[in-house]
Chain A
Amino acid sequence: MRFLGFLLRRIVGIAAVMIGVSVITFAISHVIPADPAVAALGDHATDEQIAAFRSEYRLDRPLVEQYVTYAEGILHGDLGRSIRTRRAVIDDLVDSFPATLELSFTALLVSMLVGVPAGVWSAIYRGRPPDFVVRLLALAGGSIPVFWLGLIVIGLGYYQLGWFPGGGRIDAFVAPPPPRTGLYVIDSILAGDLNALRSSLLHLVLPALTLGYFSTAVITRMTRSSMLEVLGQDYMRTARAKGLRERVIVLRHALRNALIPTVTIIGLTFGSLLSGAVLTETIFSWPGLGRYATASAVSLDFPAVLGVTLLAAIVYPLANLVVDLAYYWLDPRIQRG
Chain B
Amino acid sequence: MSYRRAPILFVIALLIAAACSQPPPASATGSPTPQPTAGGAASTLVYYADVSDLISLDPAVAYEFSGILVVHNAYDTVVKFEGADLANIKAGLATSWDTKDAGATWDITFKLKSGVKFASGNPLTADDVVYSLQRVIKLNKSPAFLFTDIAGIKADAIKATDASTVVVSLPKTASAQGFLSILTFTVGGIVDSKEVKTHETAGDFGSGWLLDHSAGSGPYGVDHWTKNSEVLLKANANYGGTKPALSGVLVKHVPESTNQQFALEKGDADVARNLSPQQIAALQGKTGIATTSGNSLLLVYLGMNATVKPLNDVNVREALRTAIDYDGIIKDLLKGNAKKVQGIVPIGLSGANESAPFQADVTKAKALLAQAGQTAVTLDFLVPTGQAPGGVAFSDLAAKLQSDWAKIGVTVNIKQTTTADLLTTYRAQKGQLVMIYWGPDFPDPDANVGPFTDYAAKSIAFRNGWDDKTIAAKGRDAALITDAAKRTTAYKDITEYVLHNGPYAVLYQPTELFGLRSNVKGFAWNPMGWLDFASITK
**Chain A interface residues toward B at CB < 8 A:** 33-36, 38-39, 42-44, 46-47, 49, 84-86, 92, 95-96, 151, 154-155, 158-159, 162, 166-169, 172-178, 189, 191-198, 201-202, 251, 282-285, 287, 291-292, 295, 298-300
Contacts and interface: CB of A to CB of B under 8 A. Distances in A.
Interface residues of B, number: 58
A295 B420 CA distance: 13
B253 interface: yes
Contacts of A189: 15
10 contacts: A34-B418, A34-B420, A39-B419, A159-B265, A166-B268, A172-B37, A177-B31, A189-B15, A285-B259, A287-B253
Nearest to B56: A86
A35 B420 contact: yes
B55 A85 contact: yes
B34 interface: yes
Given A159-B265, A198-B21, 16 more contacts: A33-B421, A33-B424, A34-B424, A38-B424, A46-B145, A159-B262, A159-B266, A168-B229, A175-B31, A175-B33, A176-B33, A178-B31, A191-B30, A282-B256, A285-B229, A295-B52
A171 B1 CA distance: 38
B31 A154 contact: no
A193 to B, nearest CB: 5
A292 B46 CA distance: 24
B282 interface: no
Nearest to A48: B149
Nearest to B441: A44
Contacts, number: 149
A299 B418 CA distance: 9
B227 interface: yes
A194 B16 CA distance: 10
A287 B436 contact: no
B434 to A, nearest CB: 11
Contact of A193 (B29, B149, B459): B29
A195 B37 contact: no
Interface in B27-82: 29-37, 40-41, 46, 52, 55-56
B285 interface: no
Interface in B438-454: 438, 441, 451
Contacts of A86: 55-56
B191 to A, nearest CB: 19
Contacts of B255: 282, 285, 291
A201 B259 contact: no
A154 B260 CA distance: 11
Most central of B229, B252, B263, B458 by chain A CB within 10 Å = B229
A43 B230 contact: no
B228 A287 contact: yes
Most central of A151, A172, A178, A189 by chain B CB within 10 Å = A172
B287 interface: no
B420 A154 contact: no
B227 A178 contact: no
A84 B421 contact: no
A322 B254 CA distance: 35
A166 B259 contact: yes
B231 to A, nearest CB: 11
Closest 7 CB pairs of A and B: A39-B420, A287-B228, A34-B421, A195-B23, A198-B19, A34-B420, A159-B262
A178 B418 CA distance: 40
B24 interface: yes
A42 B34 contact: no
B227 A162 contact: no
A287 B229 contact: yes
Contacts of B52: 291, 295
Nearest to B437: A43
A43 B228 contact: no
A292 B256 CA distance: 15
A285 B254 contact: yes
A324 B37 CA distance: 48
A96 B34 CA distance: 23
A298 B419 CA distance: 9
A196 B31 contact: yes
B8 interface: no
Nearest to B463: A43
B97 to A, nearest CB: 27
A34 B382 CA distance: 14
A92 B420 CA distance: 23
A204 B52 CA distance: 22
Contact of A95 (B1, B16, B227, B230): B227
Contacts of B41: 172-173
Contacts of A175: 31, 33-36
Contacts of A194: 18-19, 23-24, 29
B51 to A, nearest CB: 11
B420 A43 contact: no
B252 A168 contact: yes
B427 interface: yes
Contacts of B104: none
Nearest to B426: A43
Contacts of A174: 35-36
A169 B254 CA distance: 12
Most central of B232, B255, B259 by chain A CB within 10 Å = B259
Most central of B1, B21, B56, B420 by chain A CB within 10 Å = B420
B258 interface: yes
Contacts of A92: 227
B211 to A, nearest CB: 8
Contact of B420 (A38, A168, A201, A287): A38
Contacts of B459: 44
Contacts of B18: 194, 197
A166 B266 contact: yes
Nearest to B265: A159
Contacts of A44: 441, 451, 459
B250 interface: yes
Nearest to B16: A201
B36 A172 contact: yes
A198 B23 contact: yes
Contacts of B252: 168, 172, 285
A38 B19 contact: no
Contacts of A282: 255-256
A299 B254 CA distance: 19
B224 to A, nearest CB: 10
Contacts of B35: 173-175
B470 to A, nearest CB: 24
Contacts of B420: 34-36, 38-39, 299-300
Contacts of A173: 35-37, 40-41
Most central of A38, A43, A175, A202 by chain B CB within 10 Å = A43
Contacts of B31: 175, 177-178, 191, 193, 195-196
Contacts of A42: 423
Most central of A46, A85, A194, A299 by chain B CB within 10 Å = A194
B278 interface: no
Contacts of A201: 16, 19-20
A189 B30 CA distance: 11
Given A35-B420, A43-B423, A154-B259, A192 B266 contact: no
B233 to A, nearest CB: 13
B418 A285 contact: no
Contacts of B242: none
Contacts of B32: 178, 191
A158 B262 contact: yes
A285 B37 CA distance: 21
B37 to A, nearest CB: 6
Contact of A38 (B259, B268, B427, B451): B427
Interface in B222-269: 226-230, 232, 250, 252-256, 258-259, 262-263, 265-266, 268
